[in-house]
């Protein structure tokens, strides 16, 4: 794939006009809680969902590094959208990393044709750690899927939904494998609800999805091994970090735009106008430095994932040492950049008075969205992992679940 990748300039010319169009309405959509159906369609029509699909299947053949650079730019335009597409791109990378290559082509061609994939993985409640209540049963009428998921990020925008499930019947999943099912979003028995009530990432479409005896084509039942190194935890987490880097860049852009035309200043200010005040300039400079370091951290991890992907393309395997490196680097980037981006989301208000707080400006959305993203895979666990590795040489855990521990 990478040997036939488009140039950075080609990708910029293709997508930056779409990103600019998306950015124009981002603050108002957040204020009105208007789901981003149109922006997702603009992206799909431009081929954004097929970035990582090889040219031979109708995609753009972009590299891992190009993919994350564009996610940062999209996150700068509207931070809801990289998260909404996180499962879509994760599905593509899972095909490459964990699914039999003989099964790839039909799905990659669907994506090249514009299909968007959502997610229904996580379940609420105190079910036992590592167990799923959603079940895929073999019945006399074929396979049927029943269950309820929450945090179904992107699914309200999707054409297909990836659903993790417990498989029951003669064709059980192999030992140590996780089953996932691909279901058309409009299939009979599928219900999608816009009931995400978090204070941030309001438009990432992360609500409830229900499956009531949904008929499943056997060809749409896949599985992957939950043993050994994988790039997937790094892939998913790096999407969050790319989004945070985009938020940091949006903070710089919108703060500078707020300061530039202002005439109102304080009697004890250090300049004739805010734009000339060295203290205001210092704050914006600090915000700029945060955006730079966040972007650099994401790019560093993307280079490692890109190197691993190029080995996969050449040799048909993923090198374990690079996967371990990518997992550790992702944790380092997460621990290193989250507090600085959260700080930038608060520090931006130091450039102005109460007018910066007007709801119509939407400047508060940057901190709210960053705080919401930072709550995924909490940072203290990643810092502990890094400390254990540095002290004891302990390797990272690539597969983990949520639930209640047995007493």
Asked if 175 and 223 count as a contact pair (C-beta separation under 8 A), the reply is: no
Question: How far is Cα 160 from Cα 119, in angstroms, rounded to an integer?
Answer: 8
**pTM, two decimal places:** 0.95
Nearest to 162 by CA among 88, 232, 234, 96: 88
Report all structural domains of the chain as residue ranges with CATH numbers, in order of start: 8-116 (1.10.540.10), 135-225 (2.40.110.10), 231-392 (1.20.140.10)
Structure confidence at residue 1 (pLDDT): 44
Structure confidence at residue 2 (pLDDT): 44
Structure confidence at residue 254 (pLDDT): 97
Structure confidence at residue 287 (pLDDT): 98
What's the average pLDDT block by block, 10 residues per block, for the chain (407 residues)? 78 98 97 96 98 97 98 98 98 96 97 97 85 92 96 96 90 80 98 94 94 97 92 97 98 96 73 85 97 98 98 96 98 97 97 88 96 93 96 92 73
Structure confidence at residue 273 (pLDDT): 82
Length of the chain: 407
Question: How far is Cα 272 from Cα 263, in angstroms, rounded to an integer?
Answer: 8
Structure confidence at residue 176 (pLDDT): 79
């Amino acid at each position: 794939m990478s040997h036939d990748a488009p140039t950075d300039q080609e990708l910029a010319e293709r997508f930056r006009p779409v990103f600019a169009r998306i950015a124009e309405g981002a603050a108002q959509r957040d204020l009105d809680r208007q789901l981003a159906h149109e922006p997702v369609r603009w992206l799909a029509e431009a081929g954004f969902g097929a970035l990582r699909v090889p040219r031979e299947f109708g995609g753009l053949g972009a590299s891992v590094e190009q993919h994350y650079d564009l996610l940062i730019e999209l996150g700068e335009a509207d931070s809801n959208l990289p998260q909404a597409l996180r499962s879509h791109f994760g599905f593509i990378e899972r095909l490459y990393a964990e699914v039999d290559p003989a099964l790839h082509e039909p799905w990659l061609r669907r994506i090249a044709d514009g299909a968007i994939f959502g997610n229904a993985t996580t379940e609420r409640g105190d079910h036992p750690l590592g167990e799923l209540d959603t079940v895929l049963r073999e019945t006399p009428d074929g396979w049927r899927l029943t269950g309820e998921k929450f945090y179904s990020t992107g699914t309200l925008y999707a054409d297909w939904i990836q659903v993790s499930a417990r498989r029951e019947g003669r064709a059980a999943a192999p030992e140590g494998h996780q089953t996932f099912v691909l279901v058309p979003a409009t299939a009979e028995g599928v219900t999608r609800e816009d009931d995400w009530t978090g204070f941030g990432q309001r438009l990432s479409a992360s609500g409830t999805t229900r499956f009531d005896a949904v008929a499943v084509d056997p060809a749409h039942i896949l599985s992957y091994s939950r043993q050994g190194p994988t790039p997937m935890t790094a892939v998913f987490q790096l999407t969050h970090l790319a989004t945070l880097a985009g938020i940091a860049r949006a903070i710089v852009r919108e703060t500078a735009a707020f300061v530039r035309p202002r005439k109102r200043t304080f009697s004890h200010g250090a300049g004739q106008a805010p734009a000339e005040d060295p203290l205001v300039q210092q704050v914006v400079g600090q915000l700029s430095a945060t955006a730079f370091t966040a972007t650099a951290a994401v790019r560093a991890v993307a280079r490692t994932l890109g190197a691993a992907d190029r080995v996969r393309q050449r040799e048909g395997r993923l090198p374990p040492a690079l996967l371990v490196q990518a997992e550790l680097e992702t944790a380092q980037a997460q621990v290193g950049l989250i507090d600085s981006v959260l700080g930038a989301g608060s520090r931006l208000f130091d450039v102005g008075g109460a007018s910066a707080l007007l709801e119509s400006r939407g400047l508060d959305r940057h901190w709210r969205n960053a705080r919401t993203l930072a709550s995924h895979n909490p940072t203290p666990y990643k810092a502990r992992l890094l400390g254990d590795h540095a002290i004891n040489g302990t390797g990272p855990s690539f597969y983990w679940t949520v639930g209640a521990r047995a007493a």
